[in-house]
């Protein structure tokens, strides 16, 4: 209901503000996740980020379980990634970014990592909103709004909640909750590729995230009108690859 929507702050920036920050308009933003997700040293991880961004990508990303393992502590990763992002920006003349995963065991550590990313001049951070929890995510969204950083949201663990047909919470509901809690991007899966989903439902997720008003359309799983009023939209991320 619109009365409830207005009690929530929603995305810290939104689609239009992000495009203004990155100075990229009229096209999708192209990014990738660094692979292998685990096992690289911080230096080699930074090198991979540089090569991707220098090669033409707009953004690169930590995988959801890239956190702070013995072979690559988060401080070292942040430093090498920042060096890579700034070098790619200088050489291409474009704004670049890398989603630095700040998900942590407790909110204090999460904010410590976010502050370090800000000190390094990074434009965007990332949070696993289901494993971190809605309260932690809402707090991080408020921090990003105050500090001028973009917030990428990964949906790690969603399949445990939404895939079983007879119990759980549908991803459509989780996506709405995320827009209310706050995030500038959210993975929606794709109609093709590794995370294949139903075309109509997937397009319904996309509209629920980015449009201001979504009319009832039962073919796409939208059972009633949704009015987001003036709440900014969320970038729907075609996650899981397209091949």
Q: Answer yes or no: 35 catalytic.
A: yes
Q: Return the CATH class of domain 2-237.
A: alpha beta
Q: What is the pTM of this model?
A: 0.93
| First-residue to last-residue Cα distance in the chain | 38
Strand locations in the chain, DSSP E?
A: 31-33, 59-61, 97-101, 124-128, 150-154, 185-187, 213-214, 226-227, 235-237
Whether 155 and 196 have beta carbons less than 8 Å apart is answered as no
- Given 35, 37, 142, 170, which residue is catalytic? 35
- Given 154, 158, 185, 187, which residue is catalytic? 154
Whether 228 and 211 have beta carbons less than 8 Å apart is answered as yes
For residues 67 and 2, what is the distance between their CA atoms, to the nearest angstrom? Answer: 37
Q: Answer yes or no: 154 catalytic.
A: yes
Categorize the per-residue pLDDT at 159 as very low, low, confident or very high, splitting at 50, 70 and 90.
Answer: confident
Helices (H), 128-214: 129-132, 134-147, 158-162, 171-181, 199-210
pLDDT digits (tens, 9 = 90+) for 57-115: 999 999 998 999 999 999 999 999 999 999 999 999 999 999 999 999 999 999 999 99
pLDDT digits (tens, 9 = 90+) for 178-209: 999 999 999 988 877 665 568 888 899 999 99
- Per DSSP, the residues of 144-168 read HHHHT-EEEEE-TTHHHHHS-TTSS
CA neighbor of 241 nearest in space, from 185, 187, 173, 164: 187
| Pairing relationship of beta strands 185-187 and 213-214 according to DSSP bridges | unpaired
With H, G, I as helix, E, B as strand and everything else as coil, classify residue 126: strand
């Amino acid at each position: 209901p619109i009365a409830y929507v207005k009690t929530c702050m929603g995305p810290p920036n939104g689609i239009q503000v992000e495009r203004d920050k990155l100075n990229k308009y009229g096209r999708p933003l192209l990014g990738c996740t660094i692979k292998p997700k685990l096992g690289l040293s911080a230096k080699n991880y930074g090198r991979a980020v540089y090569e991707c961004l220098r090669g033409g990508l707009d953004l690169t990303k930590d995988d959801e379980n890239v956190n702070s393992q013995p072979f690559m502590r988060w401080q070292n990763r942040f430093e090498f990634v920042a060096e890579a992002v700034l070098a790619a920006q200088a050489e291409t003349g474009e704004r670049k970014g890398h989603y630095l995963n700040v998900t942590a065991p407790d909110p204090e550590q999460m904010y410590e990592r976010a502050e370090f990313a800000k000190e390094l001049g990074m434009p965007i951070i990332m949070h696993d909103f289901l494993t971190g929890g809605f309260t932690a995510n809402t707090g991080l969204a408020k921090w990003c709004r105050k500090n001028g950083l973009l917030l990428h949201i990964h949906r790690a663990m969603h399949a445990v909640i939404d895939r079983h047909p007879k119990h759980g919470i549908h991803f459509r509901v989780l996506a709405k909750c995320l827009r209310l809690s706050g995030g500038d991007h959210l993975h929606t899966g794709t109609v093709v590729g590794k995370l294949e989903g139903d075309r109509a439902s997937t397009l319904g997720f996309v509209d629920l995230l980015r449009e201001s008003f979504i009319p009832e359309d039962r073919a796409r799983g939208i059972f009633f009108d949704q009015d987001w009023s003036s709440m900014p939209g969320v970038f729907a991320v075609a996650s899981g690859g397209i091949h």
